[in-house]
Chain A
């Protein structure tokens, strides 16, 4: 291959390797000369034959899981039971759960922390067919254990999970994933204890709702449990840019104007907005801000003044 064509050939070879590995389209040879195309085509045949040839596992024959499964070699000492499709399937399912958790971590980045369980045997739950917690999802107010089970029937799950909350009292919820079906259900302590019904008396825990893929079930729970922070109108402006009292008044007037621009179709809402314009004196807000800034107004007294202000504007 001549040096003039090396850059083009290098790029095409990179593309072809990406194509063979499923990471890109087949390279286009339209722009290359006939001679170079012939050379590249021959190279493609070589690459197709040997790409990733050394990336496949080659266990020693006596430990080869397929040879063991075929009965060609004895089970290696300490190797446990004969490997079968279930083992491979379980590993694959474990990978799928990890992928789902990684997706959730990406979706709730900054709000949810997903960590391997650090229970270290304390409170790890081995009974009832449950495995130790696979991961822990932490939000501001939630600690959700992710457990796996080898069953797909969740009808008795509520009773079976109750002891988990006793063993791990910091857990606020448990997500149970079936490594057979990959479906999950999220339960809180309230779902796992008997409840009293005014008519029927004591009733047993209800079975969980229909299981769903873990990314949906756990994702919905985490989404629901995250705190909602309402936007405070012009807060940054108020804190940073309103040194003078006149600026505070201007800021209050602007904030009220912003609110009044919104359309109000319901008569009561329209009246409330009109009341806001009429009854909330910017000077009163300015006086309040001045007193808070100077430290003269704090605590309950400040709350009372704010309540009075709100009552005035609501009247």
Chain B
């Protein structure tokens, strides 16, 4: 999804072959949020309910969100940044589990995808901790049975996860509306894990100046998100 230049009007197939899974027109703000617009996910969900499941389309639509949530789950347990192989391991199990669900029972596809990915990320994180504690053993991830019905707390968490994804979308949109310096510092030090001191050195700024710029940016970001939330509530926009 391109936030500054949305992909509306570009066919699904054309977007799918884009270099980054997003718009073919590469821009500085080409940050996929859910890899696609919510409407497309709804359309995929509808097709699935009708028995015409598009596995590749579903994977493309939710893979970024699921990777992000899986990485978050791993980080929660291990206390460190997840490496790509571990995230992929969690995503593999989570997507299979998502496909095994009954589509008629899913109220929010993005929320459930995020919740499952987060839980599988927790599993991978626990396995990594076990492997660190007992280095002689193999890395055994507790894999959930994909066919087993999901516990009730998954459904509750899915609602929260859908709201969180909506919040992520709003934040990403709002970052584009910030002045360039503020959006850059937020993008580098929050979205991308660059140390503020490193970023300040790159920009030729003092650490204090960079920190003030980030605080101003976050303050503006919060105000922007709040206003967009209000607009969404007034317009009755769909969340999941």
Contacts and interface: CB of A to CB of B under 8 A. Distances in A.
Interface of A: 1, 6, 9-10, 13-14, 17, 20-23, 39, 42-43, 45-47, 49-58, 60-62, 64-67, 69-70, 72-73, 85, 87-89, 91-92, 95-96, 180-183, 213
A67 B180 CA distance: 35
Given A1-B215, A13-B214, A50-B168, A73 B20 contact: no
B106 interface: no
A58 B138 contact: no
A182 B59 contact: no
* Contact residues of A: prevailing secondary structure: helix
B192 A57 contact: no
Interface in B59-82: 59-60, 63-64, 67-68, 71-72, 75, 78-82
Contacts of A92: 83, 85-86, 131, 139
B191 interface: yes
Given A22-B81, A58-B21, 7 more contacts: A56-B64, A56-B71, A56-B82, A60-B21, A66-B91, A69-B88, A88-B88
Max count, chain A CB within 10 A of own CB: residue among B68, B131, B192, B212: B68
Interface in B189-227: 189-193, 196, 211-212, 214-215, 218-219, 221-222, 225-226
A183 B191 CA distance: 38
Contacts, number: 147
A55 B75 contact: no
B222 A53 contact: no
Nearest to A10: B211
Given A56-B87, A182-B136, A22 B215 contact: no
A256 B212 CA distance: 67
A66 B95 CA distance: 9
A58 B193 contact: no
Contacts of A85: 89
Nearest to A52: B193
Contact of A52 (B71, B167, B225): B71
List the 10 closest A-B pairs by CB distance, nearest first.
A22-B79, A88-B85, A54-B191, A57-B84, A1-B219, A10-B211, A56-B67, A55-B193, A72-B56, A49-B167
B83 to A, nearest CB: 8
A56 B68 contact: yes
B89 A88 contact: yes
Given A1-B215, A72-B59, A58 B64 contact: yes
Contacts of B48: none
10 contacts: A21-B81, A22-B81, A50-B190, A55-B71, A56-B87, A58-B20, A88-B86, A181-B136, A181-B137, A182-B135
A50 B131 CA distance: 29
B171 interface: yes
Contacts of B84: 56-57
B16 interface: yes
A52 B81 contact: yes
B44 interface: no
Contacts of B56: 67, 72-73
Nearest to A73: B56
A46 B91 contact: no
Nearest to A2: B219
Contacts of A87: 85
Nearest to A3: B212
Contacts of A10: 211-212, 214-215
Nearest to B225: A46
B60 A46 contact: no
A288 B86 CA distance: 70
A22 B226 CA distance: 28
Contact of B190 (A6, A51, A72, A91): A51
A89 B138 contact: yes
Contacts of A42: 222, 226
A57 B87 contact: yes
Contacts of B75: 20-22, 52
A57 B215 contact: no
Given A50-B190, A56-B71, A66-B95, A180 B167 contact: no
Contact of B168 (A9, A49, A70, A88): A49
Contact of A46 (B16, B71, B221): B221
B19 interface: yes
B16 A61 contact: yes
B191 A57 contact: no
A72 B55 contact: yes
B31 interface: yes
Given A1-B215, A45-B167, A96-B135, A57 B190 contact: no
